[in-house]
Amino acid sequence: MYRILLLLLLCIGSIGVSAQVVEGSKYKTGTPRSSSGLVNGLTSLTEWGIDLITIERENSTFFFLPVAGYENRTGLSIGLLPSWRFYLGGKEEGQGFYRPSNISVSGEFSTSGMYEFYLSSKFYTKNNWYLKTKWMVQHMPDKFYLLGNSSDKSVFSDIEENKLEFTGRIMKIVRDKWFLGVNYDFSSYNIKNIDGLVFNPSVRGYRDAWVAGVGPSVTYDNRNSVIYPMRGMFFESSYLNYFRALGDYDFSTFKFDYRTYVDLGKNEQVIAMQAVVKSTAGDVPFYRMSEIGGKRLFRGISHPYKYLDNHSFYVQAAFRSRLWWRLGCEVFSGVGNVFDKLGSSMLEDMHVMGGAGLRIRVLENEKLSFRIDYGMTNRGDSGVFFTLGEAF
């Protein structure tokens, strides 16, 4: 816990120093110190490097980012992320409903042996349709733990997971804020090189399998930005039914996701809050069960397969602020749990999470940042994440 407090103090202290620098610059003049020249040189070099990999046009931006990351689960990773962002709508940014479309391709490799390739796209059309697709191929050396919230997590099996996923949604936009449509999920999983007795034939998902699901989705979104929202609200309710006629399992999943953002009025300071409920029913393979953990869901737990069960919920909040130049910070906290049945077990052995992180703005106009987060929980779990984009 002392590490969280230290990061919090550093973050708050940096905000104060940044404010003093800004205030001082309004009234003081004179010859800058040599350290100021060094800082200016470094910032200019960074700006030049970012401009080199970014091509901006009137209604589009293309950037070619070398990507480096870290997670406890995958180790160090490197890759490339070419992405094209463009605008298909009839309004300018800041004038009512505004959403950029994009096409992204990514290739990534890690020190653990993980590799991943994906092609994703999001289209917001002029005739008010939202179309989202993602193709992903991934090989992941991983761990499988005993299911449940209170099981012995010191016992696990090492596995290698190969997946091919094709997911997406087709939605009609109503009055700029409501999205009505369907989600779909067609995916294949193969588990091999199993070491340990925890992952065995009694576990659903042990054998090679396809899952095929489709179902309705409703979304409300009046946020001012999908990348760095500072005000507005988002909620989504979705249901997916998976059919044995098209895949290997009969089951269903439900998810409710609510987010709200409060603009504090200066230095891009914002309070962000999120509440998520997930539920499953039927013969659910482990890779579609409800979970907490990961770089977005609950950052105090690094491994999303560590706590799996039929249902889960978590609530988290974050304070974000711009510090200086392209630097920012975040302090976050939350509570969550996984459980087998609705009832008293929902609140047993709750996970309490807290942490902090640094932000480095990659695309200024888009407010897209590279983030470094550290989180930990009251049960001894922790997570370190280097990745692009805010968690929620």
Domain count, the chain: 1
Distance in angstroms (rounded) separating the CA atoms of residues 291 and 339:
9
Residue 34 domain flag: no
pLDDT tens track for 112-123: 999 999 999 999
pTM listed for this prediction: 0.81
Q: Which residue's entry shows tokens 């640094």?
A: 358
pLDDT tens track for 154-203: 889 999 999 999 999 999 999 889 999 999 999 999 999 999 999 999 99
Residue 162 domain flag: yes
% helix / strand / coil in the chain, to the nearest 5?
A: 15, 55, 30
What pLDDT shows up at residue 368? 84
User: Contact 390/371 with Cβ under 8 angstroms?
Assistant: yes
Residue 31 domain flag: no
What pLDDT shows up at residue 28? 39
CATH number at residue 350: 2.40.160.50
What pLDDT shows up at residue 19? 40
Number of C-alpha atoms within 13 angstroms, CB side, residue 276?
22
- Say how many C-beta atoms besides its own lie within 10 A of residue 204's C-beta: 19
User: Contact 123/134 with Cβ under 8 angstroms?
Assistant: no
Residue 35 domain flag: no
Residue 32 domain flag: no
Residue 298 domain flag: yes
Distance in angstroms (rounded) separating the CA atoms of residues 277 and 291:
10
Both structure tokens of 324: 């200086």
pLDDT in tens, the chain (392 residues): 444 434 444 444 444 434 433 333 333 334 444 556 665 665 565 555 566 567 777 777 887 777 777 887 888 889 888 888 888 865 555 454 567 898 999 999 999 999 999 999 999 988 889 999 999 999 999 999 999 888 788 889 999 999 999 999 999 999 889 999 999 999 999 999 999 999 999 999 999 999 999 999 999 999 988 889 999 999 999 999 999 988 999 999 999 999 999 999 888 999 999 999 999 999 999 999 999 988 888 888 888 889 999 999 999 999 999 998 889 999 999 999 999 988 767 888 899 999 999 998 887 777 888 888 999 999 888 888 888 889 89
User: Contact 315/275 with Cβ under 8 angstroms?
Assistant: yes
**Which is it for the CA torsion 56, 61, 64, 68, positive or negative?**
positive
Burial of 6 (0-12, 13-18, 19+ CB in 10 A): exposed
Distance in angstroms (rounded) separating the CA atoms of residues 74 and 77:
7
Residue 37 domain flag: no
* Residue 329: domain span: 2-26+42-388
Distance in angstroms (rounded) separating the CA atoms of residues 140 and 165:
14
Helix H or strand E encompassing 320: strand 311-324
Q: How far is CA 351 from CA 202, 264, 355, in A?
A: 28, 29, 13
What pLDDT shows up at residue 91? 54
- β-pair partners for 195: 158
